[in-house]
Structure 1
Amino acid sequence: MTESSSTVPTVAQRYATALFELAEDAKAIETVEKDLDRLDKMIDESADLKRLIRSPVYSSEEQAKALSAVFSRAEISGLVSNIGGLLARNRRLFVLPDVIRGYRALAAAHRGEVTADVVSAEPLSDAQAAALGDALKESTGKDVKLSRKVDPALIGGLVVRLGSRMIDTSLRTKLNSLKIALKEVG
């Protein structure tokens, strides 16, 4: 298991590994990764899709049917569609985001890359992302692929996770630290 996939729960890692091995056999590692990236973006942007994935209220049949419709509309087929259906049938759809993260880590390791999860208050420009990637590459000695997300609650700054390391330069964290320090003084 790669360092960056060590944060993926065991059940999800098993599915991610199986998906990666099937993609490798089919010579479709990049195709599957692109489908998973699209799916991940859809999950991030849709509260209904998040609810479908996380909620135990829906039956496995309802989850499978809804997920099939989502995949059809997004033109996601093949291995990603199959793993989604399998997760739904096995009542494990809630691990789908972790399966995506685990697959990305395996694909990155296969290419000799490491993946850094970057959360910023505002979307990073291409120049900022390139500069961050270069700094992380210099630090790790490996090619670094950035997985970018936006969380306005950070107020400003970044949170970067690279394997088991986390660098938090967000204003939210700095303000919380200041609040704690002021409580201790007063």
Structure 2
Amino acid sequence: MAAAIGGRRLLASAQVAGRVFYSAAATQEGLVKPPIPVFGIEGRYAHALYSAAFKKNKLDQIEKELNDFQKLLTAEQKLQDFLLNPTLRKDNKQALITDIMKKQNYSSMTVNLFAALTENNRLNRIDSIVKTFNRIMSGQRGEVVCTITSAKVLTDKRAKAVENMLSNFVKKGEVLKIDRKVDPSLLGGLVIEIGDKFVDMSTATQIKRTIGSLRESL
């Protein structure tokens, strides 16, 4: 009985804190400015969490907790299906999330974030919020995130040449963080995302542009 009462109090506390967290995310008032600009719903939540963690000097801890929970969702499909099912009660979802996080000694800030996401039916945004927070943290460390997508795996020689070329675009003191991906639909060439810049040099896009130009000339 006592355990049940304690659990209900914990859930109620998380829900109230979640509403406070969402209010801060929505208004953006009194928040610490992030090292890079972020946008959209995921940007508002990630920014609010960054600000709270910055003020408490717990940025690294929060980053680890977010990525650990994301890994848990990826590994546990049933848990993910439960949390993303729109027909299930929000308080049941929050109770489960709070229980999992408290057992793992997660910070109240992470618990409050997920309380806000649950309350506002935003659990389907977890992936994009975690990615946005990771981008903020990369900016905090002076990293410039760069994604290189190719039609097939690049040879070490070519990958090194591309990375050396891209290093010319980072400022002194910044560190280039490379993420390589493969997408056969590109047919050839590269698609490069560096910071907020996007360059599509893929064969597929070149073909589309050529076909478009031919149609316009007919």
Q: TM-score range by the shorter chain?
A: 0.5 to 0.7
CA RMSD, 1 decimal: 4.3
Deviation at 1:13, TM superposition (A): 2.0
Q: Does 1:102 align with 2:104?
A: no
Which residue matches 2:175?
143
User: Structure 2: how far apart are the matches of 1:155 and 1:44?
Assistant: 30
Which residue matches 2:186?
154
What is the letter of the counterpart of residue 168 of structure 1? D
8 Å Cα contact 2:146-2:195 kept in structure 1: yes
- Number of residues of Structure 1 aligned to a counterpart in Structure 2: 182
Which residue matches 1:24?
54
8 Å Cα contact 2:90-2:119 kept in structure 1: yes
Deviation at 1:164, TM superposition (A): 3.4
Q: 1:61-80 counterparts in 2 under 5 A? A: 61=91, 64=94, 77-78=106-107, 80=110
Partner SS for 1:5? coil
Give the TM-score of the pair, scaled to structure 2: 0.57
The structure showing larger relative contact order (alpha-carbon pairs under 8 Å, at least 6 residues apart) is 1
User: Structure 2: how far apart are the matches of 1:125 and 1:76?
Assistant: 43
User: Structure 2: how far apart are the matches of 1:121 and 1:101?
Assistant: 24
User: Structure 2: how far apart are the matches of 1:149 and 1:51?
Assistant: 30
Among candidates 200, 204, 207, match of residue 168 of structure 1: 200
Say which is worse superposed, 135-144 or 150-159, in terms of deviation: 150-159
Deviation at 1:111, TM superposition (A): 1.5
Q: Does 1:115 align with 2:115?
A: no
User: Structure 2: how far apart are the matches of 1:21 and 1:129?
Assistant: 36
Q: Which has the larger radius of gyration?
A: 2
The percent of aligned pairs where both chains have the same amino acid is 25
Partner SS for 1:114? strand
8 Å Cα contact 1:3-1:163 kept in structure 2: no
8 Å Cα contact 2:149-2:190 kept in structure 1: yes
What is the letter of the counterpart of residue 201 of structure 2? T
Q: Residues 127 and 42 from structure 1, CA distance in 2 versus in 1: closer, same or farther, beyond 3 angstroms?
A: farther
What is the letter of the counterpart of residue 199 of structure 2? I
Which residue matches 2:45?
15
Q: Does 1:91 align with 2:121?
A: yes
User: Structure 1: how far apart are the matches of 2:87 and 2:210?
Assistant: 41
User: Structure 1: how far apart are the matches of 2:180 and 2:81?
Assistant: 18
Q: Residues 31 and 173 from structure 1, CA distance in 2 versus in 1: closer, same or farther, beyond 3 angstroms?
A: farther
User: Structure 2: how far apart are the matches of 1:96 and 1:139?
Assistant: 31
> Which ranges in structure 1 are unaligned for 5 or more consecutive residues?
none
